[in-house]
A and B are shown apart, each in its own frame.
Chain A
Amino acid sequence: MAQLVATLASTHHPFYLKATTMPPEQQMPQAPKWKRKIEAYRETLARTKPDILVMIGSDHFHQIFLDNCPQFLIGKAPRYDATFYNEEREFGIPKYVLEGDEEMSRFMHQHLMDQNFDFAFSNELKIDHSIICPIITVRPQNDLPVVPIYTNIFAPPLHSPKRFYELGRAIRKAIDDFPSDKRVAAIGTGHLSLELGGPRQFMETGPDPDFDRQAIEWLRAGDIDSILANVNHETMAKSGNATHGFLNFILMLGVAGPEGADYVDNLDLFHTMEAYFTWYPKEQAA
């Protein structure tokens, strides 16, 4: 059976590449520190020597729109183009092509259906920055096949935090049962408190620093009970209109299981708290 070797959950900041590669005299003061933190985080993946990446993100109205909007979707394609024109324009993210793993996509799709998750699928999925940002940060050589999974954190009604956690557990089961000797890493991105297109956007901190600190502690401890007792759609909206990206962190805790994280780091940037978590399955902990 396949072996899950690491679960990574992080924020995705589309300006990371631009912020850390522009001429040094134009960079923001935190850029060198940001880069060091990202490179340290990258190492938490590299040391596990993965063969395949299961990547969880959320399309930001790039391929998916309100005429046809799945809650959960899995890509099943031999490869995936990435980065849309408006992402190049706004964030300066280049185009990529990611290799797929159709066999694992097909297996996971069926397995997740068998576990009562009615996944939509796509045989021609163009990937956006929710999955390219972590390629840039934790696997910039882009040398591994991926199984992309999209969740709807954007177009209400959204599934509950509990459903996201359960989906994470189901994804873990599907990885564990994949008949292969491959080493699999699961990588998902989302947000802590975040405001976009509203009165609290682009402040000196994220819109709700208290939530950010609390969320980091919950994830550090793997405390799913506290998350489910305290986080719902209303509380997330109060913390910032795009805070629902936190649902992907809850999903990733489901993949890892309710355990303390092995690596935790964060960085307070203008307008958002960045956070980086890695869990290693206990049986493989060095």
Chain B
Amino acid sequence: MSKYYVNKFLFTVDRDPDYLKRYIEDPKSFVATWEQSIGPKLNDAERSTVHSLTDAERQALIDHDYVALFEMGAHFFLNLTMYIGIYDEPYLAKSGPLSFQREFAAKLQHWRDKDYPSVET
């Protein structure tokens, strides 16, 4: 498991309009591209050999499955801001302000009185 690498996915995609667009349009092929050429990048010349996604992490990212990502210990801020970036507008148009954020919370209610999975990396 690589919480760090899941976070790196969320961090690099949320901050880049082109990556975000590709992740919305075709998550499966974008996640594959990310693992191949974006995730390993340290800078324009250097690549890292250290991290990789597990099958479960890859699937959660492909599925936009923020519940699974929360349960794996992805950082709560990155996990929220990424999927707000994708779903806030369509939910707003359909069901009003904060409707996506409230659905996000509702899907996590089984964690309400428990210690949350640690986000420490």
Contact = CB atoms under 8 A, between A and B. Distances in A.
A156 B76 CA distance: 12
Contact of B8 (A66, A85, A201, A203): A66
B15 A60 contact: no
Contact of A157 (B11, B78, B120): B120
A197 interface: yes
Nearest to A84: B15
A157 B17 CA distance: 31
A47 B84 CA distance: 39
Nearest to B121: A66
Given A61-B77, A242-B76, A198 B116 contact: yes
Nearest to B101: A202
A61 B104 contact: no
A198 B77 contact: no
A242 B76 CA distance: 9
Contacts of B77: 60-61, 154, 196-197, 242
Interface string A230-265: 000000010001100000000000000000000000
B105 A198 contact: yes
Interface residues on B, range: 35 or more
Given A66-B7, A202-B105, A242-B76, A90 B121 contact: no
A198 B70 contact: yes
Interface string B93-113: 000001001101100111110
B18 to A, nearest CB: 11
Interface string A130-144: 000000000000000
A67 B121 CA distance: 10
A89 B17 CA distance: 9
Interface residues of A, number: 27
A106 interface: no
Interface in B1-24: 4, 7-8, 11, 14-17
A60 B115 CA distance: 23
A155 interface: yes
B96 to A, nearest CB: 12
Given A66-B11, A199-B109, 14 more contacts: A60-B77, A65-B7, A65-B11, A67-B8, A86-B85, A154-B75, A196-B76, A196-B77, A197-B75, A197-B79, A197-B80, A198-B108, A199-B110, A242-B76
22 contacts: A60-B77, A61-B75, A65-B8, A66-B4, A66-B8, A66-B11, A86-B14, A86-B15, A86-B81, A154-B75, A155-B119, A156-B120, A196-B80, A197-B76, A197-B77, A198-B76, A198-B105, A199-B109, A201-B104, A202-B102, A237-B115, A241-B116
